[in-house]
Amino acid sequence: MRRLLFLGLICVLATPLVHARAIPNPNQHHAPGNESPQTPIAQANYSVGVNYQLQCAGCHLGDGTGSAANDTPRMKGFVGNFLKVPGGREFLVRVPGMSQSALNNAQLADLLNWLMREDGMAGASMPEHYQPYTAEEITALRATTMLNLPGTRAGLIKEMRAQGIAIDDGMNY
């Protein structure tokens, strides 16, 4: 019994020391390389390719192939088809990954224009008379939220099929 009381007393006395380790040390220094606050992406002036890697590649993968297992469509060789159907241009801006990205409107316009290049993600799907996105257009389109992503996308895919566009986005439907 005495031994049990002694162990209990040690535990009670040691508890404040254990909890003290969880309290941050106000004199602790930043890890090397983290001495100053991180620059927001919208102010960092990264290249368009870096912005793609930071904002899109996590889902669509670095080469734009997407992943059906993760319900993420292929962009490579397909994304330009959205510009061939009514509402597709707006859809690309309003996709949550775009509209809610950390990029500012000019950066988002640059990213979309980069994706639409024939030597970029759009490839052969690039529409013949492509009109580049502008920061002003992105500003206006971002202001309206897309409430039904799957339904909107399905309607655009249906319209593509009606135009005879082959649906090769890796989604198997």
Residue-range domains of the chain with CATH: 47-173 (1.10.760.10)
Determine contact, residues 111/48, Cβ cutoff 8 Å.
yes
Q: Which comes out higher in pLDDT, residue 19 or 89?
A: 89
Please give the mean pLDDT across all residues of the chain.
86
The pTM (predicted TM-score) of the whole model is 0.76
Segment 24-42 shows an average pLDDT of 76
Task: Give dist(CA 161, CA 36) in Å, integer.
Answer: 52
Q: Which comes out higher in pLDDT, residue 135 or 40?
A: 135
Q: Which comes out higher in pLDDT, residue 34 or 75?
A: 75
**Residue that the structure tokens 């979309």 belong to:** 112
39: DSSP letter = P
Q: Which comes out higher in pLDDT, residue 62 or 17?
A: 62
Whether the per-residue pLDDT at 43 is higher than 60: the answer is yes
Check residue 138 and give its pLDDT: 97
Task: Give dist(CA 66, CA 140) in Å, integer.
Answer: 28
Q: Which two tokens stand for residue 105?
A: 């409107």
Q: 1 pLDDT band (50/70/90 cuts)?
A: confident
